[in-house]
A and B are shown apart, each in its own frame.
Chain A
Amino acid sequence: MDLENQKRIKDFATEYGPENLVVILGAAEAEASGLAAETVTMGDPTFSGVLANEALGLTTFHVLEDQFKNAVNADVFEEQVGMMEMVLEVEEIVEEMNEIRGEGCKYL
């Protein structure tokens, strides 16, 4: 994950409390989704940003997961995300996100 975003997320966790934050990801691939999810739960696996060794345990979903898709307006989702939903490997992304959440989310 972008180093500046890591810093922002750490600051938000301090300001609002980690239990009040939800990170929504739009990554194109399962691997990238998993890396970003791991960064905001168990810490930066590349050890390059401020979230290295920082297990915030934030709640995180990918935009294509039901936990997000079913919470938003269906027409807006279709208009904004529908095309990418057809192109991306949704099952792989969901599997990866479930695995990371199971290991690292503290507030579910």
Chain B
Amino acid sequence: MFNYENKKLIIVGDRDGVPGEAIKECAETIANVEVIFASTECFV
């Protein structure tokens, strides 16, 4: 399993897939990580 300890997370969500805010909500449940950026792109 990947060790997220002290990692900085960059979240690139997708309007038609999983939005950035939803990924951020999940990511913030990991201990000792920091979400430094979250966005929702439109890949179309």
Contacts and interface: CB of A to CB of B under 8 A. Distances in A.
Are chains A and B native binding partners rather than an unrelated pairing? yes
A60 to B, nearest CB: 9
A2 B14 CA distance: 11
B14 to A, nearest CB: 5
Interface string A71-94: 111001101110010001000000
Given A63-B18, A73-B26, A27 B43 contact: yes
Interface string B8-43: 111111101111101101110110010011011101
Using C-beta atoms within 8 Å of the partner chain, give the interface range for chain A: 35 or more
B9 to A, nearest CB: 5
Interface residues of B, number: 31
A108 B19 CA distance: 26
A20 B8 contact: yes
A26 B29 contact: no
Interface of B: 1-2, 4, 6-14, 16-20, 22-23, 25-27, 29-30, 33, 36-37, 39-41, 43
B25 A26 contact: no
A86 to B, nearest CB: 12
Interface in A19-61: 20-29, 32, 36, 59, 61
Contacts of B16: 28
Given A2-B39, A24-B11, A72 B18 contact: no
